[in-house]
DNA sequence: TTAGAATTCAAGTATTCTATTGAATAATGT
DNA sequence: ACATTATTCAATAGAATACTTGAATTCTAA
């Protein structure tokens, strides 16, 4: 009965279409940037549009797409609608996608070096070492992401120093101690910019390449 | 200097385009089926086309696409060209994609139940229990995938009983013992079909839902 | 009822995709 | 060198999708 065989084929096709559907949702740079931002903190459409430099209508469209693929959830909050990642599995998927991309394509390095052009000016510090030095108290750790993201969860012991208003608050940084800065992770320039500012003032600095999510994945402690 | 800001934006866009590029490579059902097949064993274009029921030209096109995204590698082998997954990270990515899809979309269950319609007729056995019973020697484990895949690596202790020529070889199965069958993993019908054949002969049977890759991920032993 | 947030709609453009051809390439065996 | 085989390339056609924008609409809170 060739019919039942055709039928089986169709069913298999159907199954694979679901997987492809998620693949499609991940096939647009803007959507990936949205996913990345949502990895840091839940946000409203307005906020996402602002941070990602997109029109609100466009942002909404892309969010709809992600929502349809069940990668994000939305929740009404008064007059706003706040989006969040549907699940930690989505963050893992995004992380695997980055890992594969980075490993497979040397061009990514180049693109990253272009984007984070001061990357190699700063010493890097590992998560393990940072944790050690935090315990010793011989280092200041600052989170330079916007306050929303800090509020949604940050490395335990980190101070919030959003890049945006860092210039005005430089004096409130504990003096003398070396400063470690972190932001969203390896694809984020905020910490680089903060460190540039600080070295200009003669501070000793280092960057933690990882972000909050990686910190938590590694089994270290967060606060919120 | 607004120019340098525009520039940064462009660079960020470039970066995210690389990720999106991999996403695109994963956005077509046929390509995903190819990836899935390559998870089991390296294969030539011809073989892949046959198993996936696609034209050779088309299969080649899709493989080019995957190759361009560096998800697969090709290697000339005499007159054939054999494709393989570029890296185990690709298998992990594929596995995360399936995990998210399955978790996020209830429809996948339905599609799977339609495709594997005899799924619930057979008892399932966990990897841990199977390993135990293999050690006790009170069960026969058969690998019902095509021989190429068995040759590329199989669960240690499994006998090769490709579904295709199973009917003729039924007698060479050790009698009396219960039979456990496995194939490519949870999205593969081969084992179900084999078990249907065996219960028809009055054998006691069970299915291992996982495939070789999952077995190995779990830290168990393979042979090749 | 009004204002603000978010979504939907319509529209247009652009792009991309798949599947197909037939020719070209590369390795093999004679 | 030649014929053979497997695969890729180039070119195409047509369909289908995708992205973005601005205007209209829905929904909520006050």
The separation, in Å, between residue B77 CA and nucleotide D3 C1' comes to 20
Distance CA(A25)–CA(A23), nearest Å, equals: 5
Which residues of B are less than 8 Å from A88 in CB distance? none
Q: Is A69 an interface residue toward B (CB < 8 Å)?
A: yes
A106 pLDDT above the threshold of 80: no
- Whether nucleic acid strand C comes within 7 Å of the CB of B28, the answer is yes
pLDDT tens profile A17-69: 999 999 999 999 999 999 999 999 999 999 999 999 999 999 999 999 999 99
| D19 nearest neighbour residue (CA to C1') | A58
B92 token code pair: 């992990």
- CB atoms < 10 A from the CB of B198, how many? 21
Q: Could A23 and B97 be called an inter-chain contact, meaning their C-beta atoms sit closer than 8 Å?
A: yes
pLDDT digits (tens, 9 = 90+) for B166-219: 989 988 888 889 999 999 999 999 999 999 999 999 899 999 999 999 999 999
Please list the active-site residues of B: 183
Query: Does the CB of B81 fall within 7 Å of any strand D atom?
Result: yes
CA A144, A145, A147, A150 dihedral sign is negative
Segment B108-134 mean pLDDT: 94
- CA–CA distance, B105 with A123 (Å, rounded to integer): 44
How far does Cα A58 stand from its chain's mean position?
Answer: 21
Domains identified in chain B and CATH numbers: 2-91 (1.10.10.10), 118-223 (3.40.250.10)
Answer for A20: CB within 7 Å of strand D: no
Q: Which long-range contacts (CB under 8 A, 24 or more apart) does A71-75 make?
A: A71/A22, A71/A25, A71/A35, A71/B100, A71/B104, A72/A34, A72/A35, A72/A38, A75/A42
Mean pLDDT of B7-30: 90
């Amino acid at each position: 009965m060739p019919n039942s065989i055709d039928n089986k084929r169709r069913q298999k096709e159907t199954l694979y279409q679901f997987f492809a559907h998620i693949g499609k949702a991940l096939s647009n740079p803007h959507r990936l940037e949205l996913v990345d931002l949502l990895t840091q903190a839940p946000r409203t459409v307005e906020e996402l549009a602002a941070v990602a430099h997109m029109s609100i209508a466009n942002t909404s469209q892309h969010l709809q797409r992600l929502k349809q693929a069940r990668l994000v959830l939305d929740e009404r909050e008064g007059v706003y609608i706040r989006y969040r990642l549907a699940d930690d599995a989505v963050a893992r998927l995004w992380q695997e996608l980055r890992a594969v991309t980075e490993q497979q394509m040397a061009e990514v390095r180049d693109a990253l070096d272009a984007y984070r052009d001061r990357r190699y000016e700063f010493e890097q510090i590992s998560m393990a070492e940072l944790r050690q030095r935090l315990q010793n108290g011989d280092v200041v750790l600052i989170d330079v992401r916007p306050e929303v993201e800090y509020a949604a969860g940050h490395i335990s012991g980190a101070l919030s120093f959003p890049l945006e208003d860092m210039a005005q608050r430089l004096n409130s940084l504990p003096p003398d101690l070396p400063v470690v800065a972190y932001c969203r992770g390896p694809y984020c320039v905020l910490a680089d910019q903060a460190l540039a500012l600080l070295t200009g003032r003669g501070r000793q600095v280092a960057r933690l390449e990882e972000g909050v999510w990686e910190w938590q994945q590694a089994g270290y402690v967060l606060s919120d």
